[in-house]
Amino acid sequence: MITTKLHCCKLQSQELALTNFGFINNGLYTNLKKNTKGSELYGEISNLVLILKGDGNIGKDEIALNTCQREFSRIQLKEEIQINILEKENKRDILHFIPIDSIEIEVNLFVKPDRLIEMGDEMLEEFFKKYFLNHILTKGQILALKCNDVLFKCIVKNLKTAEFDEIKRLNRNSSNLSSYFKMNNNETNNKYNKNSMDERGILFENTECVFTSISDGKLFIESKKVLKKNIIKNNFNFEELGIGALDEEFKIIFRRTFASRIYPNYIIKQLGIKHVKGIILYGPPGTGKTLIARQIGKTLNAREPKIINGPEILNKYVGQSEENIRNLFKDAELEYKQSGENSLLHIIILDEIDAICKQRGNAFSSGTGVNDSIVNQLLSKIDGVNSLNNILLIGMTNRIDLIDEALLRPGRFELHIEISLPNKEGRVQILNIHTKNMRNSNKLSPDVNIEELAEKTPNFSGAEIEGLVRNTVSYAFERHINFNDLTKPINADDIMITMNDFLKALKETKPAFGAEEDIIENLLSNGIINYGKEYENIENTCKLLIKQIVENSNTNLMSVLLYGENGTGKTTIAAYLAKCANFHFTKFITPENLIGYSEISKINYINKIFEDAYKTPLSLVILDNIERLIDYTRIGPRFSNSILQAIMVLIKKKPKKENQKILIICTTSEYQFMRDVGLIKNFYVNIEVPLLNCSTSIKNVLHNRNEIYHDFPEKEIEQVISSNVIKSIAIKNLLMVIDMASEASIHICGGNLGCTFLSPCSMFSKRDVSGRLKSLGFRV
């Protein structure tokens, strides 16, 4: 390798400085050129490589460098520096001549102008390659470039050299590069060489150049290239962020919100579109809306997100709430004024947005009109005259119906993403996330089956699954605690989470959108009695309807009305059907749940249950004693028309999504009234639940009860049936009379089961029995 030592000096003119060459004495240049091959003479000076040229005005022991070269290499004037002459044919120097595949240049101005300067990247690239073609460039190197009478300061921010196959295509001396790596097979040298390949290369005609400008508001570069720096960070993983079961939702968010921000501005202008500025995440509580919004900021190359809870915006001072809204946009406005379209994305997250963005001019707005002013202020900032293009608002709510509709139109919060309850695959992801640490620390027993647990947790939200895991761990803690001696040391290393712990926790943890199993079990505490063909017809018909809504793809709504006299077992039959259907979402709406509610509160309560039902794939809603729900009384007659109309609408409302199905079962004892008000015709199927009006049905009920309690001998039952004492009775009333008879036999006859007041040969005469039944309101 040829080396020489020279002293640094200034260039004689600005024109020479703009060439970015290094200038040496003509004589020295001629001597060095004789001893090297190639069209250009390359010299390595400190940490950069320059093309050297001869100049008659330069001294024999001098080298003239411009200010940018001296600044980058930290060389002082008159300082002695060593120049190493590089040759492409030399195996040791070939590393410097690797072609640059792509290069990113940050462009600034040497002199700050009074006005904004706009420059297209195509023109910049043309001038850049005109002056710097075949120059060896180093990462961080400073270059001076004059374009259209504007002096630019260019800094090489990043560069990527070509792959070896590309080198062979571009450089016929690629065999030297291969030999170089064979020669330098030392591990340390290889590591150095790989780093060097990312730090330096030679600019070719087909090198891709990407130009960016700093955010000072004085220079705007209109780029027609997609920047290598993506708005989305590389190698991020949703599960690593603690997010599961939301892959499809994230795909929609990134497609609608971030895809347009990846492309250069000129493409967006050509297409005539605007970026999406707002997202609304809505759905049941605990499904991960807030978690998504918080973690989106971690996946993006953007400013740190501003996270605000809706109620925090409100302030007791007049106008302060509106100012709090303006302050959220202040940083984005300042950067947009300085950098324009090149400014980074500013993310504003508004949790519980329904608290501040209610419908304007209605009863939910505050009396002072503050909520209306907040909505107006937010509208003007998002989509007003001076609206910004570097913002993204993410709002979260459980009640999207409360938000002012002006905010939800395109151009504002135009993307509405429903975060629904996770399916089985989603629950597997969530369970894996919450048991990850247990698994990594070997605290999770091998018998824990995540797939089985996901199967056993239908309609569980993400938060409820997290609560299930916490509850499970509490059982593992309990096994290692001696409650008789709490001072006894605990061996914490022996704690192991087993499948049995999960199963115990499952019995305690009930999902908000699950079946009300306690109510069903309570209603079926005495079992179900098959009293004959009438009941069998009812059961078979209802089961057929359940099968239809489960299996028929064309049926997503089924409504059934069970009507009949008081005590005929309508509610019990409805509970039995709920148990047979085994729908994961089963809710009872009963009059006792609504005691003390106002009319509007009842409507909201009923509507909420139906809205929740539409959020699950398969749901069952039972409206028991519907005439009591609408406050019906025969005196007048009087009833709540508002509740009646609400029920009429809801039982005919079909789910919005194809994969959602709902079965509605209603019960009533006032069939004629229901017909008069027109409610009957809103049901697809009306089924009568009759009184027990034949001896066979009564006999079946008595036999069924006797098999359990053995209260009456068969002979006594036959005597009751043959006596024709009971002609028509509701099954509930019959069971009550049987209980009364059983108690009477114990009290009067000392437990003699043959002595009953239902039997004609008992202590009571038939006339006495008839009188008792009549006094209870039975028809005899």
CB atoms within 10 A of CB 603: 18
pLDDT of 168 higher than 70: no
The C-alpha atoms of residue 539 and residue 577 are separated, in whole angstroms, by: 8
pLDDT of 189 higher than 50: no
Q: What pLDDT, on a 0 to 100 scale, did the predictor assign at position 216?
A: 64
The token duo for 522 is: 């309570």
The C-alpha atoms of residue 231 and residue 299 are separated, in whole angstroms, by: 9
pLDDT of 750 higher than 60: no
pLDDT of 339 higher than 60: yes
pLDDT of 347 higher than 50: yes
Place of tokens 């002979």: 715
The C-alpha atoms of residue 628 and residue 645 are separated, in whole angstroms, by: 14
| Pairing of β 208-213 and β 306-309 | unpaired
Q: What pLDDT, on a 0 to 100 scale, did the predictor assign at position 232?
A: 63
pTM above 0.85, yes or no: no
Torsion of CA 505, 510, 512, 516, to 10 degrees: 170
H or E, element range at 142: strand 142-147
The C-alpha atoms of residue 645 and residue 640 are separated, in whole angstroms, by: 9
List the beta strands (DSSP E) in 214-366: 219-222, 278-282, 306-309, 346-351
Residue type, 191: K
Residue 755 CB contacts under 8 Å (≥ 6 apart), including other chains = 745, 748, 749, 762, 763
The token duo for 369 is: 């009109």
Q: What pLDDT, on a 0 to 100 scale, did the predictor assign at position 764?
A: 39
CA of residue 298 relative to chain centroid, distance: 14
H or E, element range at 41: strand 41-45
The token duo for 123 is: 């023109």
Q: What would the mean pLDDT of 156-177 be, rounded to a whole number? A: 61
CA angle 518, 521, 526 (to 5 degrees): 150
CA of residue 87 relative to chain centroid, distance: 58
The C-alpha atoms of residue 680 and residue 757 are separated, in whole angstroms, by: 41
The C-alpha atoms of residue 583 and residue 702 are separated, in whole angstroms, by: 32
Least confidently predicted of 517-521, 663-667, 720-724: 720-724
Tell me the per-residue pLDDT of 106-152, one tens digit each, with 9 for 90 and over: 888 888 777 778 888 888 999 999 999 999 999 999 999 988 888 99
Place of tokens 């005590």: 567
- Better-predicted residue by pLDDT, 114 or 258: 258
pLDDT of 623 higher than 90: yes
DSSP code of 722? Answer: H
* Ramachandran category for residue 46: left, alpha or beta (phi over 0 → left; psi -120 to 50 → alpha): left
Instruction: Express as a percent the part of the chain with pLDDT over 90.
Output: 37
Partners of 618 in the β-ladder? 661
The C-alpha atoms of residue 674 and residue 681 are separated, in whole angstroms, by: 9
Q: What pLDDT, on a 0 to 100 scale, did the predictor assign at position 626?
A: 94
The answer to whether 436 touches 238, Cβ cutoff 8 Å, is no
Partners of 300 in the β-ladder? 232
CA angle 340, 140, 265 (to 5 degrees): 25
Instruction: Express as a percent the part of the chain with pLDDT over 70.
Output: 85
Nearest to 720 by CA among 736, 733, 701, 748: 701
Q: Please report the domains of the chain, with CATH numbers, ordered by start residue.
A: 3-86 (2.40.40.20), 94-213 (3.10.330.10), 247-418 (3.40.50.300), 424-508 (1.10.8.60), 517-688 (3.40.50.300), 695-775 (no CATH)
Q: What would the mean pLDDT of 373-378 be, rounded to a whole number? A: 90
pLDDT of 722 higher than 80: no
pLDDT of 638 higher than 50: yes
CB atoms within 10 A of CB 552: 11
Mean pLDDT of the chain: 83
Q: What would the mean pLDDT of 185-211 be, rounded to a whole number? A: 66
Tell me the per-residue pLDDT of 588-617, one tens digit each, with 9 for 90 and over: 999 998 999 999 999 999 999 999 999 888
Nearest to 433 by CA among 471, 466, 480, 400: 466
CB atoms within 10 A of CB 176: 19
CA angle 147, 199, 302 (to 5 degrees): 75
Residue type, 265: N
Q: How confident is the model at residue 670 (pLDDT cuts 50, 70, 90)?
A: very high
The C-alpha atoms of residue 326 and residue 656 are separated, in whole angstroms, by: 37
Q: How confident is the model at residue 746 (pLDDT cuts 50, 70, 90)?
A: low
CA of residue 61 relative to chain centroid, distance: 69
Q: How confident is the model at residue 163 (pLDDT cuts 50, 70, 90)?
A: low
Q: How far apart are the first and last CA of the chain?
A: 124
Q: What would the mean pLDDT of 439-460 be, rounded to a whole number? A: 92
List the beta strands (DSSP E) in 475-603: 557-563, 585-589
The answer to whether 357 touches 403, Cβ cutoff 8 Å, is yes
Q: What would the mean pLDDT of 206-222 be, rounded to a whole number? A: 79
pLDDT of 188 higher than 80: no
